[in-house]
Amino acid sequence: MPCHRFLICLGDLARCGELCKKPDACKWSLVATYYFEASRIWPDSGNPHNQLALLATYTGGPFLALYHCVRSLAVKEPFPGAWNNLMLLFEENRSSILHSYSSGAHIDLLKPSVWCSMAAINRATSGSSNKNMPEATETVTSGKADIWLLFVRLMSFFLVHSSLEGFQSTLASTVGQLEGLVAMEDDEIKAALESYQLMDPSRKGPYRALQLVSVFIFIFHSLTESGDRVDPKKDNKQQSALTELAVAATFICAGRVVEKSATRNSTQTCTLLPTVCVCRVVSKHT
């Protein structure tokens, strides 16, 4: 479609123009607008989302880059280089030091409803405004937590053909940080779930929670559908085990979100309500 291609070119030109500026002077909102409009005109094309993933790497958003890489693949006409870009994103994440990751962290997959942090669940269920927040919550609130980097690493276990060494500790570390996040007040949660504040400040909303569900859905599809991305070295038993782990991780994370929403005085105003609705629909078809 000519209009679609024209918008992509305008976005690329605007992006190159911003790259010529000093890093602190770059404004990406116009660039993002062109790519989003291209996606709206032709939603079956993965090209706009690939460009948005690239844009996310400029603004320091690896999780946002992951989401748009996934979107560029989960269409009728995937972007040809999107899968390689996704693998590069995972490689960079694997080589990064995540301060919120603990190799000694553990979660019992046979007891998925047991929270990693009892302090976090006490705050979430009581609705207390006590400032003595659990450690996980403090790090999320202060912005020092790399919960979204942990989610990127967690997803890499399902999509990169490697061993599962470190999976348990990564899942436990991620869930622990998620518990800290959902234990915060609604305004704090809303701020933590903003995705586009550095790319396009006008695009507001708790997008990260919905994007997380979208990525999990893509993982299910990738693990259960045969195709070029299925590792030929893995037999059906290994593939089935990986799928079971993906299901467990999804419902553990979704369970924390749903439990948080259920403890609010008014679920209609809960920031996580849209995500809960999506989780409910997904659970009926899983």
How do residues 168-178 score in pLDDT, each as one tens digit? Answer: 999 999 999 99
Chain Cα centroid distance, residue 51: 17
pLDDT (0 to 100) of residue 161: 66
* Model pLDDT, residue 152: 96
The residues of the chain scoring below 70 in pLDDT are 117-145, 161-162, 226-235, 264-276, 278-286
The region that residue 39 occupies, defined by phi over 0 for left and psi between -120 and 50 for alpha, beta otherwise, is: alpha
Report d(CA 279, CA 90) in Å as an integer: 25
- Rounded CA-CA distance 260/272 in Å is 8
Residue 124 CA from chain centroid, whole number = 22
Q: Rounded to two decimals, what is the model's pTM? A: 0.85
Rounded to whole angstroms, the Cα distance separating 261 from 278 reads: 13
Please, which residues bridge with residue 4 across strands?
none
Whether the CB-CB separation of 49 and 79 falls below 8 Å is answered with yes
* Residues 6+ positions from 178 with CB-CB distance below 8 Å: 147, 253, 256, 257
Reported as a single tens digit per residue, the pLDDT across 107-140 is 888 888 888 765 444 444 555 444 433 454 444 5
